[in-house]
Amino acid sequence: MNMAIDLENMKSDHLVDARAESCPGPLLAAKKAMTKVPMDGILEVWSSDAGTKRDIPLWCKKIGHEYLGDIEGKGYFKVFVKRKR
Amino acid sequence: MESEEEKITIVVFSGTIDRLIGMAILTNAAIAMDYTVDIFLMLWSTYAFKKDIIGKDNTISEHLDFTGDKFEEVLKTGGISPWYEMIKQSREMGKVKIHVCSAAGKAWSAELKDLEFVDDFVGAGEIVWSSAESKTTYFI
């Protein structure tokens, strides 16, 4: 998690609620949703699947997006990604 | 090489749903990560992709005391979609080609029209070639 970024107050450009999805559903949902995010915009993904917290940083590394970090919600977590391509 | 051109090969021998789910999940993940995927169906997986079988045969290969129906309940609890729905989704979202070993097709007397999602028949040489050209090959 990037401590320099205030994720609690982060305003996202697009929110994906993938809490009902099992792995790799949230990852696919993130990929699909990113097309709706403007360049340098923020995608926020909600997931209750533990694998997502590890998959999304790897996805960012592979694709070239910037992984901003994650924060805990109630029974789920929120992941933030900045679109870079 | 552009990331979109990076390829993963999945050789699927088994045709039971517990293993086909593994194939489908890896395909879903690979597509999400912008890999292209070449799936090669061998003997039993070709049978599972037959239009008159797909979605109807819930045999599982391991834990034989576990019935297919009980296993489907486990999948439902886990929110895991049927393998063929995941494959359909992967093909809609990315580059997934599904090839059938020509010998397997012949063994089941299956033509392309008899098989769901399948793009073509290939020889074993192409399977080996694809694997050699891929970043990774999974054998299921």
CATH number for the domain harbouring residue A60: 3.30.110.40
Interface test with B, best of A16, A17, A22, A85 (most B CBs within 10 A): A22
> Which residue segments constitute the domains of chain B, with CATH numbers given?
3-119 (3.40.1260.10)
Helix-helix angle B83-93:A25-34, to 10 degrees: 20
Q: Give a yes or no: residue A52 inside a domain.
A: yes
Q: Give a yes or no: residue A31 inside a domain.
A: yes
Q: Give a yes or no: residue A2 inside a domain.
A: no
Do the chains contact at A22 and B80, CB–CB below 8 Å? yes
Taking only the tens place, the pLDDT of each residue in A6-18 is 999 999 999 999 9
Taking only the tens place, the pLDDT of each residue in B23-43 is 999 999 999 999 999 999 999
Q: Give a yes or no: residue A7 inside a domain.
A: no
- If we measure between CA atoms, which residue out of B28, B33, B38 comes closest to residue B90? B28
Q: Could you tell me the residue range of the domain that residue A64 belongs to? A: 12-82
Residue B112 CB partners (closer than 8 Å, separation 6+): B118, B120, B121
Interface test with A, best of B6, B7, B23, B28 (most A CBs within 10 A): B28
Give the CA-trace dihedral at A61, B134, B138, A49, to 10 degrees. 20
Taking only the tens place, the pLDDT of each residue in B99-114 is 999 999 999 999 999 9
Q: Which pLDDT band, with edges at 50, 70 and 90, does B71 fall under?
A: confident
Does the interface predicted TM-score (ipTM) exceed 0.90?
Answer: no
